[in-house]
Amino acid sequence: MLSKNDIKNIKSLEQKKFREEKRLFVAEGHKLVGDLLSKFDCVLLAATPDWKPLGSFRAERKEEITPDELKRASLLRSPQDVLAVFRIPDYSTDMATEAAKSLILALDDIQDPGNLGTIVRIADWFGIKDIFCSSGTADIYNPKAVQATMGALARVRVHYTDLLKDISHMPSGIPVYGTFLDGETIYSTTLSENGVIIMGNEGNGISREIAAKVNRRLFIPNWPAGAATSESLNVAVATAITCSEFRRRSF
């Protein structure tokens, strides 16, 4: 059973302020919660009797609850069968270390939690283990972002950092990629197996200061070349095409 206070505490985690204070976040639904239980410390696992595996998972506290209780606690419009509260992890690594050995993503002020979650799912598909976000990027522990990762958050580490500072201090020799309308056509250029791929804000793209640090400007061409078309692609879509291009070369 969940007390009034439990429900109040769960609801408070919709707000970044309380997530940061308590270092906790919420996830819902058996697929997502199942994935996250394999990776994060769970402080509360609350499920309706429909969710059989409740007993088999480890959590600091487990509660069997009624669908009505779940409805009151849920942050979703259509509550599912299970709700869990997890501890926000601390990862200790830095961009230069990861970018020296593998491909990483850097997000410059991505605003939409849905886009952010979708980007984590794309990274997971393409074997990118680390995403470094500017402090102005949406919070990955926002419930909408967590849900949009569809569980990929269990396999991709998301970090927040001073992106301009980190990019500025990147050792020379590490490629720093970004997509621009005047870049090299991504389809026909060489791409490395390590480095940083920067994706920019939905409305404004990569900020001027960070763009100045990009040493490999790429371009996803529209088709047919020169036709009147949309001004740009959605940022998650551009991330997907870019990651696919980096990885397809090893097939």
- Site residues (vs a copy of itself, CB under 8 A): 31, 114, 118, 121-122, 124-127, 150-152, 155, 185, 187-188, 220-224, 227-231, 233-234, 236-237, 240-241, 244-245, 247-248, 250-251
Contact 84/59 with Cβ under 8 angstroms?
Answer: yes
- List of residues 6+ apart from 201 with CB closer than 8 A: 108, 109, 110, 111, 207, 235
Residue 152 backbone phi and psi in degrees, to 5: -60, -25
Closer residue to a copy of itself in complex, CB, 106/153: 153
| Minimum CB distance to a copy of itself smaller for 161 or for 232 | 232
Interaxial angle between packed helices 113-125 and 235-248, expressed in degrees from 0 to 180 and rounded to the nearest 10 = 10
Minimal distance in Å, beta carbon 183 to a copy of itself?
Answer: 14
Task: Fill in the DSSP letter of residue 7.
Answer: H
Q: Which is nearer to a copy of itself, 65 or 148 (CB)?
A: 148
**CB-wise, 72 or 217, nearer to a copy of itself?**
217
Q: Taking the complex as a whole, how short is the minimal distance between the CB of residue 147 and a copy of itself, in angstroms?
A: 12
Q: What is the smallest separation between the CB atom of 29 and a copy of itself, expressed in angstroms?
A: 12
Provide the minimum distance between the beta carbon of 169 and a copy of itself in the complex, in angstroms, as a whole number.
28
Cβ neighbour number for residue 12 with a 10 Å cutoff: 15
Peptide bond into 113 cis (omega under 30): no
